[in-house]
Structure 1
Amino acid sequence: MPYRALVRSFRLVACVAALVQLTACASTQSNATKPPPPASVVALYGQLDQASRSYETALQQTRAGDMEGAQKTLDASLDQLRDAAAHCGATPGCDPQRFFSVFDHLLRLKDGSFIGDQTPDDEDTSTSPPLAPLTGQAGAGSLPEAQRSVTLLRGHQLSELIAMNGPVKAALEMWLTQWRGNLMEAYVNYQFLRQEMWPQYQQQGLPEALLFGIMAKESGGKVHAVSRSGAAGPLQFMYATGLRFGLTDQDGFDTRFDPADSARANAEYINEQLKSFNDNLELTLAAYNGGEGRMHRLVGEDTSVSFYDPRIYAQLSQETRDYVPEVLAAAWLFLHPDSYNLRFPRVDGQTANITLKRSASLSELTVCLGSPNDMPDGWFRTLRNLNPRLDPQQEQPLGAELQIPKSLEKVYDARCVDGPWPILASDLHNAVVPVFPEPAPAAADPVVRYTVRRGDTLATIVRRHGSCASEAQVARMNNLKFSHIKAGQVLKLPSCR
């Protein structure tokens, strides 16, 4: 059987498992103690278990080169899954959680197989070159657009370290619903930053999905992002932590904003904390968000403790409780978009250097480039990300070198060198906005006014309002005779400012 067809068949297993979830939801039961399941349910569970074992067998046969045998085994597995899916929802006592578990199991098996290297759309990437050895600066051509290889994380597959529990499932739903736009924006931004950031992680033996998950949560791939607490860059380093990992000022440029430097520092930090927390990824991410000092005090010497242990989880801020599963969920979706009915946009992330044929700022280039290649939001963010050291409003001289998406090389020549668009862009950029001096603040009123209430005396009014004047001064200010006042009368009192 052709290799691609077999891959599609394996993908169908995951799709059938997803359908099983939907079918089984109608029969969800309480977690209360139940009597032993009837024989009909036991038989369904047997089919489900056998389907899972057959899937593993088919993978082994594929790795061994037995495509024909793998196809027969897979066909039997699919038949069992279809039969179980058709009957579980209508069978009293059938527990849908069994089907959820099998679906999760198949996803994790997928990470250990060749299927994990396919693109979300099952696109043929046979013409994509493999990752080149990382000697010197890796070029865009050495980085396949959508490689899905799952790097070992200190001896473990990433999928083995992501517990598919309630918080992670809730985070998956958020990324797929309310944050879906943020996820897509982060993915597009990352494709153009990938050639700078991914080699840093690869050198440290860390999975690309983890890098994407952290970046998606921290900045959405906005290189110049700065938080209210002062964290900066695509991976949001605090100033002191950045210094510890070599992120400094270079000729007035904060290297926390440099994609390659920040990815290198982040990878070094993650590996440092993994070593400190006995390869516990969740504790490591919690340390990145909430501070390693706090996490070490909470964990103590028991580095085998779970992040979700109440002794740890209950002591963390809500931000950190949310942060860890949200990073893991984004990483999981990066690996398995097709399993969650998610399709990332197709992006050619290769970049190229151009020499300006007329002076222009990044803002002007954004105007004249327009929205080619289905970029309705334009190219401002991408141009900023690719040229992080440049002020986007500062005009760059003729002959300056800029980095742009490779797909825009011809667009630049056609739209930004001659013709009406660069003229329009320059006219908008150089528009003069009237500037007027701020009006002088009005002088403070030297007095305050008080309406006399029943029972007030001049002495009590002066004491109550902490007046800086005496009763006699207040009396003179208000032309009072014998300090006589009456309810409803408005008095002037000195302002003590």
Structure 2
Amino acid sequence: MNPTRNWIAVAAAGLLLSGCNTLTPKPGAGGEVVGTPSPHASAVQDWHERNRVDTVLSRTAEAPEDLWELSREHFMLDLTQSNGRIEKQVKYYSKHQDYLDRVTDRAERYYQYVLEQIIERDMPAELALLPIVESAYDPFAYSHAHASGPWQFIPGTARHFGLRTSWWYDGRRDIVASTDAALTYLEQLNKRFDGDWLLALAAYNAGGGTVSKAIKRNRKKGKPTDYWSLDLPRETEAYVPKLLALAKLVEKPEQHGISLKPLSLEPYFAIIDIDGQIDLKQAAKLAGTDIDEIKMLNPGFSRWATDPEGPHRLLIPVESAESFRTQLAALPASERVRWNHYRIKRGDTLSVIAARFNTTSDALRRANKLKGNTIVAGRTLLIPQGEGAVLADAGNATGNQRKLAYRVRSGDSFWKIARLHGVDVKELARWNKMAPRDPLKIGQQLTLYVGGVESSDS
């Protein structure tokens, strides 16, 4: 065992003292999926078990300086090979220091967790760089092929690996769930292609069937069947070289004339059981941080609150974890999600009310313990109220909206900012007299209008 193999767990040990807990569950544009879905529910439990204090203290190792050094110590792929396709990508990345800086800033929240999971599975640390190729480490990334999240799962592959999608939640964007699913998928592909990681990576992008057919064609012609010899889609022929190029830059940044912002070995977040639904704005208040930070750490939640069906966990900045747990324990269940009272009017239906308050009929049925869709005029419904619960009826919403100023940060886009604040991307652009595809500048101030739910009609 490499003496630094599990050093990163030392940094996580403090989190275990506070009793943080949770559950866990891919990817690329490929179509065919074979293998067994990953056991998401046990993955995070196993992570905490591996990092128990008594286990951690039994390991002796000299600490690496940062996560880049730890990555180098666990690189397994051949980075010495000379290949024009790799060198083309090295040249490109080395000329774009600004891009590398942006990606590093974006990865800062997630890289420690991703790398730790990879090391624990004895997989090549180069795989921690794969979300750069897939999504530039943007959990809100969405492709024309309907791939989503840091690991860019398409819907079919996501379902196969247990990544659930609902009105409330998209597991493809969930850092914990999608990382577990992606690594499980990569392990299965590696096994399918007899331990050849380059073929496994190609299959992650193009699909196992595409790679298998290319191998079969070459074998029939008496040609080599390694990755570099196969006739693959153009995107796939650039995909593996991109990853290897990034690894070469991380391995010897000075040699390529670039610098890498140090990434701390300390965990960025703690995974905390919340045992039920909670308003994300309330969670931010308990954590003593802003709502944007909570949403960036928990991008799987699509609305103003966590999914009532789970996963019942939140990623919280590590420095706020203990305080969050203490305050959450003291918070009455009735205050976890704010509610308004709506008096049912003649002609109302559950679906109409749900649309008016930007929620779902199912959410209203659960909140009001209704067995069906029957409602009675004059009675009162509980309506979930949160930062994102904006009236769908613009005529009614205008009077309830409040104006916010938002300063653009590194890695922001209209789409991401709109998602963070529960507003329409076209509206956001219109409010600022811009188009959704217009570039944003760091430090630029945008105007947003967000609102609350209409007061009870009583």
Give TM-score scaled by structure 2 length.
0.48
| Bigger RCO (CA 8 Å, 6+ sep) | 2
Give TM-score scaled by structure 1 length.
0.45
